[in-house]
A = this chain, B = another copy of it.
Amino acid sequence: MCGVFGIWGHSEAANIAYLGLHALQHRGQESAGIASTDGERLYAHRVMGLVQAGFQQEDLRQLRGEAAIGHVRYSTAGSSHLRNAQPLAVDYAHGSIALAHNGNLTNHEALRTELEAKGSIFQSGTDTETIVHCFARSHESTAEDRLVDALRKVEGAYSLVALTEKKLIAVRDPVGNRPLVLGTLTKGDRTMTVIASEPTSFDLIGAELVRDVAPGEMIVVDSAGIRSSFPFEARPRAMCLFEYVYFARPDAMVDGISVYNVRKALGRKLAQEHPIADGEEEAIVVPVPDSGVPSAIGYAEASGVPFQVGLIRSHYVGRTFIEPQETIRDFGVRLKLHPNRAALEGRRVVVVDDSIVRGTTSRKIVKMIREAGAREVHFRVASPPTKWPCFYGIATPTRQELIANTHNESALADYLAADSVGYLSLPSLVDAVRGEERNEQARRGGPTSDVPETASLRGFCHACFSGEYPIPIPRAAGDRHGLLKTIA
């Protein structure tokens, strides 16, 4: 997962991009970067770690010009190295281009082999560089046509922003797998265009959400204004459901739908599908903070079981911590989460989390809650079992490491040492998203979209839950990491 940002026409474009990235920081903490243009040249700066830690005043000052794009990266393709940080910025025959990409290409290995055979040199280990090479080799004349030409060669998921000396370009892939939104920022009588992965970027900088960029849409901004086009063949929409489950910040609107409201709805449906047996005396609902909070509120609302803060999240956890040589049990999770004994002791505890991937942390949480005196621990997951790896932009473990592949609910309860485990069903997840879509449409006073009450799963990517991949996966994709032979 990554976050992208773009701004056009602001006298302090790089600083605005820096703030925009801060509000997308939850989408990636491995590296951050900004590229800007003053109309003549591109300027770029990339750092490992958080945008706030890495960028100094002087760095922003040197990112000259009134347009900028930015990127925060959560390692997907390509290893953790500065040279894999984005935006990628290169020179080609007719100028320069910088690219910030959220998503993952599925055919980039084949493309890379083909490009290298023609003499192309790869500097990074990212799939994004493939787009740049196709762009550089295109015979089209304008930057947008070259970019379309390049993107027609690639398969996979992408929400991207590109910057040339004279243009800002935003593109969302034809299936709309990753989110991308368009906003405006008004200063006096000047209106500027802003692009971002989520509208969470807009609040901090005083911008307003206009709308989502549509699947397959390209938006070009330059001195002549802003233009929209749909240069790709239409494809069925396949928006990532995990954005609603976990990735997006709860205050975000993704494709017009409130993430917070969806998550509460997931909790409500979860309470219906997996209530706790034997009455509700002494029971409490406890979220795994912070991602489980909205679903826990929903669960509490629907079940009548009171919501309590049973786990306190530490605000002081950073990367490394010096542990004594005599190992402390469950050290990692204890650093981050503190059990609130006063709330837990003697209770029947319903723990609500957004999802379970490997299950190791969940197991430690259950143990911690039991040691704090809980009488029973019921684990509730506000999404379906995660059984399949993602090839479209999320760093997931292999199938073998996904615990939902190897453990059914009962086996998982044993592994977690929980009294029961309950996952939300996939239809309920889709229903919840669709329901909130209708609610939102009703709230806005517009016509409600014609979405069936209990519908098919169309319109969403649920590959990680169902194994149905809306974009084909090449056979060798399991080996897609570690492409780069040179390690710098």
Contacts and interface: CB of A to CB of B under 8 A. Distances in A.
A108 interface: no
Given A52-B321, A116-B91, A203 B339 contact: yes
B308 A297 contact: yes
A19 B322 CA distance: 8
A133 B118 contact: no
A227 interface: no
A466 interface: no
A113 B91 CA distance: 11
Count of identical protomers in the assembly: 4
Nearest to A253: B342
B122 A120 contact: no
Given A44-B487, A203-B339, A119 B133 contact: yes
Nearest to A204: B334
A150 B221 CA distance: 41
Contacts of A187: 326
A136 B123 CA distance: 12
Contacts of A307: 297, 307
Interface string A210-250: 00000000000000000000000000000000000000011
User: Nearest 10 CB-CB pairs, A to B?
Assistant: A258-B342, A119-B137, A93-B116, A44-B488, A251-B340, A12-B324, A15-B324, A42-B486, A96-B486, A25-B316
20 contacts: A15-B322, A16-B324, A22-B335, A41-B487, A42-B485, A44-B487, A44-B488, A46-B488, A50-B316, A90-B122, A91-B484, A92-B122, A120-B121, A203-B338, A204-B331, A253-B342, A260-B343, A297-B306, A297-B307, A297-B308
